[in-house]
Amino acid sequence: MADVFSPVRLGDLDLRNRIIMAPMTRDRAGPHDEPTDLMAEYYRQRASAGLIITEGTQPSPHGKGYWRTPGIHAPVQVEGWRKVADAVHGEGGLIAMQLMHVGRASVRANKAADAETIAPSAIACPDPIPGPDGVPVPPEMPRALAAHEIAGVIAEYAAAARNARAAGIDAVELHCASGYLPMQFLSSNSNQRTDAWGGSAQNRVRFVVETLSALAEAIGPGRVGFRICPGVTFNGMADADPAETYATLLKAVDGMGLAWCHLIHIPNQGFDSLDLVRSHWSGAVIENCGLTLEKANAVIAEGKADAVSFGYAFIANPDLVERFRTGAPLAKADRATFYTGHGDDARGYTDYPRAG
């Protein structure tokens, strides 16, 4: 019977176990949004995971919304990610990059002077976003994308995927959750367009479908995954019918041969999102959110998911796989050092000890 320690194949990737490190923003990139040597060490320490999925990474300067988050659109960033990939591969691990364009969830002070804040519609994000000093401030009003501009945004994602592969990264994951640009297109309250990119669920999923298609064409579908969280309200999301929206999305991308659907599994009134995914998606599923080792083994044994991802547990436990295997107690993460905004700050980042 399969458990979290058994190998699994996700698309083109052969994982040595089913314990995946979930993407987590840590605000430690260098002054040019490049991965640093400290970031390479952080990921190297956690390379015993079956797969690491990196923190959300900007596909373009316009996609940045938070301070000290890394990009994959400039040569210095590609070189930085090459150090990260080499460090993980040196430990026998695999690493995928989460591509994260924040859209309207952006603070002007966090972006380059010539970078725009864009969205499907000119509707501001209602949730405050931390600025460079960590103090949350209201996001700026986004500019609604003209229809003819959308292909260019999708092309930026495809270029980012090619850059990731050039850096040695094994795969990419499209971030379609947390109220960022893809979810802004998906959600009926943030997408008020009346053209072919808005209105019906079929139109609202089009941006995600075409972006995933472009990523698959750029680096191969077996190296492309996507992350969703139906019903989440973070960053002002309030879809009128998330079950319809995500069923439409899943059916539209099911035949593409993509590597995985990464589900943040939260409670929803009227439907269970894991059941929804399993009903409309025939590919591999990564389950995430509030899992213990026991719950993770159960969801795999029951065939509800093919792999499981852990976030906070990996922060304080770089040797999480070994601790699970041996039954060693888990250390607790220090929330005060989650986001320091300093590229050379090892506190709460690379200084957590291994068990024993």
Q: Is residue 343 part of a domain?
A: no
Q: Is residue 161 part of a domain?
A: yes
Asked if residue 340 has pLDDT above 90, the reply is no
Per the listing, tokens 């089913």 go with 18
Percent of the chain surpassing pLDDT 70: 100
138 secondary structure, DSSP code: P
User: Which pLDDT score, from 0 to 100, does residue 1 have?
Assistant: 78
User: Which pLDDT score, from 0 to 100, does residue 89 have?
Assistant: 98
User: Which pLDDT score, from 0 to 100, does residue 343 have?
Assistant: 84
Q: Is residue 163 part of a domain?
A: yes
- Say whether 248 sits in a helix, a strand or coil: helix
Q: What is the biggest distance separating any 2 CA atoms in the chain, rounded to whole angstroms?
A: 60
| Length of the chain in terms of residues written | 356
Counting the structural domains of the chain, the total is 1
Q: Is residue 351 part of a domain?
A: no
Q: Using CA atoms, how far apart are residues 350 and 207, in angstroms rounded to an integer?
A: 37
Average confidence (pLDDT) over 264-288: 97
| Averaged pLDDT score across all residues of the chain | 97
User: How sure is the predictor about 342, in pLDDT bands with cuts at 50, 70 and 90?
Assistant: confident
Q: Is residue 212 part of a domain?
A: yes
Q: Is residue 353 part of a domain?
A: no
The per-residue pLDDT for range 142-194, each reduced to its tens digit, is: 999 999 999 999 999 999 999 999 999 999 999 999 999 999 999 999 999 99
Residue 122 sits in a domain of what CATH number? Answer: 3.20.20.70
Q: Is the pTM value of this prediction over 0.85?
A: yes
Q: Are 314 and 322 in contact (CB under 8 A)?
A: no
Q: What are phi and psi of 275, to 5 degrees?
A: -60, -40
Known catalytic residues are: 180
The per-residue pLDDT for range 71-125, each reduced to its tens digit, is: 999 999 999 999 999 999 999 999 999 999 999 999 999 999 999 999 999 999 9
Domain that holds residue 185: 8-337
- Say whether 149 sits in a helix, a strand or coil: helix
Q: Are 70 and 58 in contact (CB under 8 A)?
A: yes
